[in-house]
Amino acid sequence: MIKNYTRKMLLSALIGFLGLTSLNAQVMLKEIPLAQQIESSSLVVEGKVISKESFWNADHTNIYTVNTVEVYKVFKGQPATTVQVVTKGGTVGTMAQKVSPSLNLDTNDVGVFTLTSDAVDHANAFRAYAGVQGFYKYDLNRNVVTNPFHKMEGVESVYTEILSKTKSNFSEVLKFDALELANKAAKSAKVLAPSSITYSPGEISAGTESVLTITGVGFGSVKGSVGFANSSDGGVSTTYALSTQVLTWTDTRITVEVPSLAGTGVITVVDANGDLSTSEDVLIVPFALLNNNNSGQAYLAQHYGDNGNGGFTWSQNSSFSANTAAAAAFLRALDTWRNETKINWMLGEDTSETDSGIDNLNLIGFSATLPEGYLGETIVYYDSCNSADWVVAEVDVLFTSEENWDYGPNLPFFDIDFESVALHELGHAHLLDHVIDSEDLMDFDIGPGQVTRTLSSTNKEAGDIIVAKSTTNSVCDYQLMTLYSGQLSVEEDVLESGIDLYPNPANEAFFLKKASSINLQSVVIYDVNGRLISKHDASNTSGVQTISLSGISKGLYFVNINSDLATITKKLIVK
């Protein structure tokens, strides 16, 4: 197994060892203390999500999801057997909306909610105060409570924290003994849990339908679930593959597609009885692509020629463009992505619009109405003609007007670097998801003075997959995106002109002929969904290298050719 611990993972391990509860800041969030959450909330309850349903707002501009929560305890507010918690995002028919950051609840999620009356068109509903920070999720198998900024060891610890703030006891609506359930899970795991977990490969991408094979003992004959380190919080919590992503399950072997939220970390196997075990070694996830989950299935979306000219046009609101330093920093971030991956993004005329929503605008702007503690919000709207093939219909990126941003171009000292945050959020617009790597642009957090203004090779690799799919894979009646017409870098131009791939179409193999001045590193083949097909070492190649296509089905593929200075992508048809 590959072991490659990043500094962030070592820090997380140290935090766990010392019993500390404070976690790192996140890219688009600032911590709202629990005391403030309780004081500002009209209702604080412990409960479980028992159902959820998405709906359009009255103006048909945003999709929301109403989550019905069965109430166990009430720490503040009037007792009720159920409450409805409205979250932003969801899927209605062939339209979907994904918001980052956001509170995404699943059926059977259990924890404490800090709630306030909701302004969305849904009678008697609440929203989580401070958005994603307003839910403290229980992991009863591990007996921990997590939210984006805190990890509490022992479910009972959250009671102590809340009662110290409310200065009064809770009201019990429905009996639920979290501590008893956690202790029962711990005792069962010592005797019955799966064990001896290993897996291959040791490095794999997420959200690309790439398949991980897990071997071990005691998995059972009935399908359970497979968990990964959750990239949206640095691996503090666990994210689980959809049932449809668990392809096969036997007592000793599991195959599973790695979900889009999976990050670098250990693997968790939970059997059908709820008993779990984790791997000793760390799975490396170098990049992840955003998926749209619909009806229990995960789909990789793509861009299309939205503006009639093969591209996608952004519009700045007038208050944003009036801040010339902010506008310049955003343009630098935009140029970085389109020059590196050739995504066809353009900057159009300004707009007076300030609110996000389906309105035929891809909005960039400042907002004073974001949830408490939010530095910004990226909203991706998807459309489909068949519920399986999804395209990006619109994207809005809003930044808070309340933050004292550092707009550069000089390096920041104590403030948050706006260009780094914009580059990260444009990564989500590009359809990249988070990773767990403090050196990577798409890492889940950034702190004051931290700067990441360039793409890594894996950022570019991920972006190239999306662009290749968006420029070649025809979906319904949508126009294909064309490549951004900006000039190739000198290094890319040298590599492009010095490489010959033939024959194309190919059958059993193809050949790469290179100029003597080029130092190749690797050749990587992906399918149109971004799934890794094969990877070949090219570092010792002189002249012509033969690349086998044995076992590869007919179809369109993308070949990433990596030198020591640049990366280019070529299309390959296997016949």
Q: What is the pLDDT at residue 190?
A: 55
Q: What global pTM score does this model have?
A: 0.83
User: Are residues 456 and 506 located together in one domain of the fold?
Assistant: no
Report d(CA 304, CA 314) in Å as an integer.
14
The CB density around residue 389, as the number of other CB atoms within 10 Å, is 18
Domain assignment present for residue 475? The answer is: no
Report d(CA 198, CA 133) in Å as an integer.
34
Q: Confidence band (pLDDT; 50, 70, 90) for 2?
A: very low
Q: At what angle do helices 418-429 and 324-341 cross, to 10 degrees?
A: 50
Report d(CA 101, CA 488) in Å as an integer.
34
Higher confidence at residue 181 or residue 462?
A: 462
Domain assignment present for residue 555? The answer is: yes
User: Are residues 90 and 181 located together in one domain of the fold?
Assistant: yes
User: Are residues 38 and 109 located together in one domain of the fold?
Assistant: yes
Q: What is the pLDDT at residue 8?
A: 38
Q: What is the pLDDT at residue 494?
A: 77
Domain assignment present for residue 460? The answer is: yes
Report d(CA 112, CA 162) in Å as an integer.
10
75 neighbors 163 (Cβ within 8 angstroms): yes
Say if residue 15's pLDDT is above 50. Answer: no
Higher confidence at residue 236 or residue 336?
A: 336
- Per-residue pLDDT of 413-464, as tens digits, reads 889 999 999 999 999 999 999 999 989 999 988 878 889 999 999 999 999 9
Higher confidence at residue 511 or residue 181?
A: 511
User: Are residues 169 and 238 located together in one domain of the fold?
Assistant: no
Higher confidence at residue 379 or residue 4?
A: 379
φ, ψ of residue 212 in degrees (nearest 5): -100, 135
Say if residue 6's pLDDT is above 60. Answer: no
Say if residue 240's pLDDT is above 80. Answer: yes
Domain assignment present for residue 22? The answer is: no
User: Are residues 165 and 226 located together in one domain of the fold?
Assistant: no
Domain assignment present for residue 294? The answer is: no
Which conformational region is residue 6 in: left (phi greater than 0), alpha (psi within -120 to 50 degrees), or beta? beta
Higher confidence at residue 258 or residue 142?
A: 258
Q: What is the pLDDT at residue 484?
A: 92
User: Are residues 461 and 554 located together in one domain of the fold?
Assistant: no
Q: What is the pLDDT at residue 469?
A: 94
Q: What is the pLDDT at residue 189?
A: 57
- The last residue of one of the domains, among 189, 220, 252, is 189
Say if residue 479's pLDDT is above 60. Answer: yes
- The last residue of one of the domains, among 167, 189, 211, is 189
Say if residue 198's pLDDT is above 70. Answer: yes
Sign of CA dihedral 87, 395, 30, 5: positive
Percentage of the chain beyond pLDDT 70 is 93
Name the H helices within 167-317. Answer: 178-192
Mean pLDDT of the chain: 89
Question: Collapsing DSSP states into helix, strand and coil, what is residue 104?
Answer: coil
What's the number of CA atoms in the CB half-sphere (13 Å) around residue 520?
25
Q: What angle do CA 162, 167, 170 make, to 5 degrees?
A: 60
- Per-residue pLDDT of 271-288, as tens digits, reads 998 888 899 999 999 999
Say if residue 489's pLDDT is above 80. Answer: no
Say if residue 176's pLDDT is above 50. Answer: yes
User: Are residues 513 and 369 located together in one domain of the fold?
Assistant: no
Say if residue 56's pLDDT is above 70. Answer: yes
φ, ψ of residue 333 in degrees (nearest 5): -65, -45
CATH code of the domain containing 97: 2.40.50.120
Report d(CA 469, CA 465) in Å as an integer.
6
Q: What is the pLDDT at residue 192?
A: 56
- 568 by Cβ neighbours in 10 Å (0-12 / 13-18 / 19+) ranks as buried
Domain assignment present for residue 334? The answer is: yes
Range in 359-363, 489-493, 515-519 the model is least confident about: 489-493
Q: What is the pLDDT at residue 185?
A: 66
Domain assignment present for residue 219? The answer is: yes
User: Are residues 242 and 278 located together in one domain of the fold?
Assistant: yes
Report d(CA 241, CA 163) in Å as an integer.
35
Percentage of the chain beyond pLDDT 90 is 67
Range of the domain at 411: 312-468
Say if residue 507's pLDDT is above 80. Answer: yes
User: Are residues 44 and 177 located together in one domain of the fold?
Assistant: yes
User: Are residues 322 and 406 located together in one domain of the fold?
Assistant: yes
Domain assignment present for residue 298? The answer is: no
- Which pair of structure tokens corresponds to residue 559? 């070949």
Say if residue 564's pLDDT is above 90. Answer: no
Strands 297-300 and 63-76: unpaired
Buried b vs exposed e over 482-518: b needs ≥16 C-beta within 10 Å? ebbeeeeeeebebbeebbebeeeebeeebebebeeeb
Q: What is the pLDDT at residue 487?
A: 62
User: Are residues 355 and 456 located together in one domain of the fold?
Assistant: yes
- Per-residue pLDDT of 131-152, as tens digits, reads 999 999 999 888 899 988 888 9
Report d(CA 481, CA 193) in Å as an integer.
49
Q: How many domains does the chain have?
A: 4
CATH code of the domain containing 563: 2.60.40.3080
CATH code of the domain containing 362: 3.40.390.10
Say if residue 71's pLDDT is above 60. Answer: yes
User: Are residues 355 and 335 located together in one domain of the fold?
Assistant: yes
- Name beta bridge partners: 381: 97, 394
